[in-house]
Amino acid sequence: MNRGFLIVGNKAVTKPFSLNDLAGSAGRMDILCRFIAQALFISHGIRKNVEVYLLLLGEPEPPKAIKIVGKEVKTMAPDERNIAGLIRKALKIECNKNWKRSTSGIYISKKNLKELLDELTNRYKIVYLKETGKDIRNFVKQIDKDCLFILGDHLGLSEEQERIVKDYASEVISVSPISLQADQCVVIVHYELDRSTIF
């Protein structure tokens, strides 16, 4: 089954940025890079059944959405700097509401959260990951459709963003008894899904 992950980067900049300051002037782009790495990479390989979506809401031209398609990605390493370089390249493209290809497997558009979810709800069951949700360990036993998991960055989702997500989400799921970083949540989702489908 396919797996999708979407993160909202509330401060992530929408123009090319310095690779030497991902956590600062790039608006916590480091969080998004780690999110991508944990969604796509296993040891010595990439998960072909994964799509990653980033919603960038930082200055100067929000919103911008980036899509990364695991089965198309060719030149990506799991370190933050390498992934950031690919995002920076995508941000150099003049974009509109349609997906435009930047490098292999990486696309960019001007979609906002609602437009992204309108597109994704046809192909995925939308799942909102939040600490107060139901235990993922029970949830994975009942999955009958490809799921897209939505997470916030270090700031979480705003009330308005959460309202939109809840309009589309059929489930609110928790991955841990303690509050974790977004990329750690992705590792746990993969782990529980791997166990339920491979073991």
Q: Which residues bind its own copies (CB under 8 A)?
A: 19-20, 22-23, 30, 34, 37-38, 41-44, 77-82, 154, 175-181, 184, 187-188, 190-191, 194-195, 198-199
- Which of residues 64 and 190 has its CB atom nearest to its own copies in the complex? 190
Q: What's the min distance (Å) between Cβ of 147 and its own copies? A: 18
**137-140 contacts, C-beta under 8 A, 24 or more apart:** 137/192, 139/171, 139/173, 140/192, 140/193, 140/195, 140/196
- Which of residues 23 and 98 has its CB atom nearest to its own copies in the complex? 23
- Which of residues 92 and 154 has its CB atom nearest to its own copies in the complex? 154
Q: What is the largest CA-CA distance in the chain?
A: 47
- In this structure, are residues 165 and 157 in contact, taking their beta carbons and an 8 Å threshold? yes
- Which of residues 28 and 111 has its CB atom nearest to its own copies in the complex? 28
Q: What's the min distance (Å) between Cβ of 85 and its own copies? A: 11
DSSP 91-158: TTS---SS-EEEETTEEEE---HHHHHHHHTTTSEEEEEEEEEEEHHHHGGG--S-EEEEEE-TT---
- In this structure, are residues 15 and 61 in contact, taking their beta carbons and an 8 Å threshold? yes
Q: What's the min distance (Å) between Cβ of 184 and its own copies? A: 5
- Which of residues 160 and 198 has its CB atom nearest to its own copies in the complex? 198
Q: Distance (Å, rounded) from C-alpha 2 to C-alpha 87?
A: 23
- Which of residues 104 and 179 has its CB atom nearest to its own copies in the complex? 179
Q: What's the min distance (Å) between Cβ of 68 and its own copies? A: 17
Q: What's the min distance (Å) between Cβ of 63 and its own copies? A: 24
Torsion region of 132: left, alpha or beta (phi above 0 gives left; psi -120 to 50 gives alpha): alpha
Q: What's the min distance (Å) between Cβ of 111 and its own copies? A: 27
